[in-house]
Amino acid sequence: MTRRPVDLSLYLVTDTGLCGPRGVPATVEAAVAGGATMVQLRDPGTTDADFVALGLAVRQVLAGSGVPLIVDDRVHLVQDISADGVHVGQRDMSPSQARQLLGPDAIVGLSISTIEQVRAARALGDDVLDYLGVGPVWPTATKPDHGPAIGPDGVAAVAAASPWPVVAIGGITTVRAGALRHSGVAGVAVVSAVCAAEDPAAAAASLRATWDGQP
């Protein structure tokens, strides 16, 4: 059961280094123009102050788009950025605590790799989480400390066990997005496929067209 509908079709996770001189806000703006439906602000190496400044700049380019802004990990900064919610990992603050701090209207997502972790999430109750991020599907250089890649079959198994919508992440390209369309997931999450692209809007549009099954 979800508190509010979330469109996970094309979920952009930002990477400040990969965005380069173009910058994160401009990359986000282009990605949304190309069809991104959700944005997660992620920059684990920056200070809280710089993260808030970056978040406010991204919030500004998203104004009026209807695309939610999710903060990675830093639950304590969600309100400062006026973000729509948070995404936490297995080693971050517990989803229950994040929900308690952010209230009933925030979006709360959780990273999952195994069916056992889905079972643990279900034990939290139906009113804590809104979606799961599942992966890595394929190995990815954007998060070197990730666990073993679980592949499309692993993603499909987790999605089948989840009562929440699932977004697949990890090594996803336009071609690979097509391979996941019938795996039971609600969408795909990308980092380098958009952030490192020469034309983020075109990259997002290509991914979105593939996901939507357009020729």
Contacts of 190 (CB under 8 A, 6+ apart): 10, 11, 12, 13, 169, 172, 207
Q: Would you state the pLDDT for residue 126?
A: 86
DSSP string, 87-141: EE-TTSS-HHHHHHHH-TTSEEEEEE-SHHHHHHHHTT-TTS-SEEEE--SS--T
Q: Would you state the pLDDT for residue 167?
A: 98
> Which of 59, 74, 99, 143 does the annotation list as catalytic?
143
* Residue (of 93, 70, 83, 96) closest to 11 by Cα position: 70
pTM: predicted TM-score of the whole model, two decimal places: 0.95
- 42 tagged catalytic: yes
- 181 tagged catalytic: no
The tens place of each residue's pLDDT in the chain, 215 residues long, gives: 446 789 999 999 999 999 999 999 999 999 999 999 999 999 999 999 999 999 999 999 999 999 999 999 999 999 999 999 999 999 999 999 999 999 999 999 999 999 999 999 999 998 999 999 999 999 877 666 657 899 999 999 999 999 999 999 999 999 999 999 999 999 999 999 999 999 999 999 999 999 999 86
> Which of 111, 113, 183, 206 does the annotation list as catalytic?
111
Q: Would you state the pLDDT for residue 214?
A: 84
> Which of 42, 74, 176, 208 does the annotation list as catalytic?
42
- 176 tagged catalytic: no
167 pairs with which residues across the strands?
Answer: 133, 187
Cα angle: 27, vertex 36, 154; to 5 degrees: 115
Q: Helix, strand, or coil here: 20?
A: helix
Separation of alpha carbons 113 and 101, rounded Å: 25
